[in-house]
Amino acid sequence: MGLETKPLSTLHDKASYDVADFPVPTGREEEWRFTPLSRLKGLHTGAAASGGVAVQVDAAPEAVVETVGRDDQRLGRAYVPADRVSAQAYAAFEKAVVVTVPREAVASKPTVITVTGTGEGAAYGHTLVKLEPMAEAVVVLEHQGSAVYADNVEFVVGEGATLKVVSLQDWADDAVHVSHHHALLGKDATFRSFVVTLGGDLVRLSPSVSYEGPGGDADLTGLYFVDAGQHLEHRLLVDHSTPNCRSNVVYKGALQGEDAHAVWIGDVIIRVEAEGTDTYELNRNLLLTDGARADSVPNLEILTGEVAGAGHASASGRLDDEHIFYLQARGIPFEDARRLVIRGFFAQLLEKIELDELRERVFAKVEAELEK
């Protein structure tokens, strides 16, 4: 399996609310080495906020939605920024959206938070989604338009609660988005994250999960389609620090065109205390043309001898000629055969989106990417 024996600190070494605790990245740091810093448009060097996004919330009637100031005591409790841009976002956001789903409430429809870039310069944001014990909800984060945007999203999933999140990065071609999604799972909580990243010049999204009690169950799924010139980066971190929790990470992407660049980092830590952990992570990249590049780095650090299961896999490759041949041999023209096989590559992931309307929409967007 090729276990990494690096010290823990390289996976998750720093956390601070203070931007000054993080030096400006140079690109040589492990956590920044894949990211083209010059295209961050100053998000890592403290670009001033000029309010370049509009945030809109369409909430389930069972959910309580508030827009709060920086001093709201509930913010920043689940997550402490882990890098420079995240700390910058935390230091610079003006208003935060807080969505609360009360104890035992079952949201009757998805809560949709739409972030629309207005093309007016840098913006910083903060979102907190809190499910009280035994609550159930679906939250959709939609990102669109032209923006230079950094934000932190906290998901606090209470005991026995179930939160399903879909985050759609459907930005305009010139957008830059650096985002942290952190989920803190209570005892027996269930968290489902589905990330779809299609648009933007540079998107760097870091979903992470930690557990407060046993029985937490996190499923992180991602789908991306990288076109010429795009840099789409996903950095996963699952930190198992309590016994008997589960995590499953599956990210799949397709790349086409010159300088299409995908980065996937999958860090999983199983700490000494986390006996009975069951974890698996997978990343697959489909390189559809020359000139596209996928970097895929799974890191699994196991510090206890008592795991229920731990594995990772990563593979990047081209479309399989034998698949295409088989379909063509049945009369299906090359382009259609290619589309069927690529759709097949994503099919099992797409089925995980339980909302029909949303699944169809994501499906249509993937289809549209294929037509390009």
Residues 6+ apart with CB under 8 A from 355: 110, 138, 140, 166
User: In the stretch 303-322, what mask flags binding to other proteins with x, by CB under 8 A?
Assistant: -----------------xxx
Under the criterion CB under 8 A, does residue 323 sit at the interface with other proteins?
yes
The CA-based angle 104-105-111, given to 5 degrees, is 140
Least distance between other proteins and beta carbon 196 (Å): 17
Q: Find residue 34's DSSP bridge partners.
A: none
Give CA angle at 21 (152, 298), nearest 5°: 60
| Selected binder of other proteins within 142, 216, 345, 366 (CB under 8 A) | 345
172 binds other proteins, rule: CB under 8 A: no
* Enclosing H/E stretch for 269: strand 261-270
Minimal distance, residue 258 CB to other proteins, in Å: 25
Give least dist CB 278 to other proteins, A.
Answer: 24
How many residues are recorded in the chain? 372
CA quadruple 97, 151, 158, 362: dihedral positive or negative? positive
Nearer to other proteins, 71 or 321 (CB): 321
In the complex with other proteins, which residue's Cβ is closer, 343 or 365? 343
CB of 234 to other proteins, least distance (A): 21
* Residue 326 makes contact with other proteins by CB under 8 A: yes
Q: How far is the CB of 154 from other proteins (least distance, A)?
A: 34
Q: Other C-beta atoms within 10 Å of 348: how many? A: 11
- The binder of other proteins chosen from 269, 327, 353, 358 (CB under 8 A): 327
The binder of other proteins chosen from 12, 74, 343, 365 (CB under 8 A):
343
- In angstroms, the CA 300 to CA 113 distance is 33
Partners of 372 in the β-ladder:
none
320 vs 367 by CB, closer to other proteins:
320
Size of the site for other proteins (CB under 8 A): 24
Should residue 357 be labelled a site residue for other proteins when binding is judged by CB under 8 A?
A: no
Shortest Å, Cβ 341 to other proteins? 7
Please identify, using beta-carbon distances, which residue of 17 and 334 lies nearer to other proteins. 334
Which of 328, 357, 349, 356 minimizes the C-alpha distance to 340?
Answer: 328
- Phi then psi for residue 116, to 5 deg, are -115, 120
Residue in the structure block whose two tokens are 């789409």: 232
- The answer to whether 187 and 217 have CB atoms below 8 angstroms apart is no
Burial class (CB within 10 angstroms; exposed 0-12, middle 13-18, buried 19+) of 1: exposed
Q: How far apart are CA 156 and CA 16, in angstroms?
A: 19
Tell me which of 228, 303, 313, 340 binds other proteins, using CB under 8 A. 340
Site string for other proteins, 269-308 (x = CB under 8 A): ----------------------------------------
Contact of 78 with 106, CB cutoff 8 Å: no
Tokens, residue 258: 């010159």
Residue placing its CB nearer to other proteins in the complex, 14 or 343: 343
CB-CB neighbours of 269 under 10 Å: 21
- Residue 371 lies near other proteins (rule: CB under 8 A): no
Q: Are 208 and 220 in contact (CB under 8 A)?
A: no
Decide whether 71 or 356 has the Cβ nearer to other proteins.
356
What residue type is 365 in one-letter code? Answer: K
Q: What is the largest CA-CA distance in the chain?
A: 65
Contact between residue 262 and residue 269 where contact means Cβ atoms under 8 Å apart: no
Identify which of residues 158 and 253 has a Cβ nearer to other proteins in the complex.
Answer: 253
Contact range with other proteins by CB under 8 A, out of 69-77, 202-210, 239-247, 345-353: 345-353
Does 348 engage in binding with other proteins (CB under 8 A)?
yes
* Closest CB to other proteins among residues 131, 349: 349
Contact between 346 and other proteins (CB under 8 A)?
yes
359 scored as a contact of other proteins (CB under 8 A): no
328 counts as binding other proteins under rule CB under 8 A: yes
Q: Which residues bind other proteins (CB under 8 A)?
A: 320-323, 325-334, 336-337, 340-341, 343-348
